Amino acid sequence: MPKAIWNGVVLAESGQCQVVENNQYFPPEAIQQQYFKPSSTHTTCPWKGIASYYDLEVNGQVNKDAAWYYPEAKEAAKNIEGYIAFWKGVKVEV
């Protein structure tokens, strides 16, 4: 079962992930919400839509914009709408 780990803490774990462009997208109910802080960062993907980001905060350390999701994905990416993916040092074990 895929899990996302950063700073020694499991941030998300689920057997219901979606894989897009080699990224595991975790369903929103699979994340440990207490570690996620909304970020004002947004980026645009031509086929997925506008991404929003979370800063991760674990044991007093912050990993800025280390998780992202598409709150309103374009039609081609509806299967990952609201799902969360990770980067910036977050280890995703499959």
Q: Which residues make Cβ contacts (< 8 Å) with residue 83, sequence separation at least 6? A: 17, 18, 25, 26, 27, 28, 69, 70
Q: What is the pLDDT of residue 32?
A: 98
Q: What is the dihedral of CA 75, 49, 10, 92, to 10 degrees?
A: 80
Domain that holds residue 56: 3-93
User: In total, how many domains does the chain have?
Assistant: 1
Burial of 5 (0-12, 13-18, 19+ CB in 10 A): middle
pLDDT digits over 10-57, tens only?
999 999 999 999 999 999 999 999 999 999 999 999 999 999 999 999
Tell me, what amino acid is at 79?
N
The three-class DSSP label of residue 33 is helix
CATH assignment of the domain containing 77? 2.170.150.40
Task: Note the pLDDT tens digit of each residue in 65-79.
Answer: 999 999 999 999 999
Give this prediction's pTM. Answer: 0.96
The pLDDT assigned to 26 comes to 98
Q: What is residue 9's predicted lDDT score, i.e. its pLDDT?
A: 98
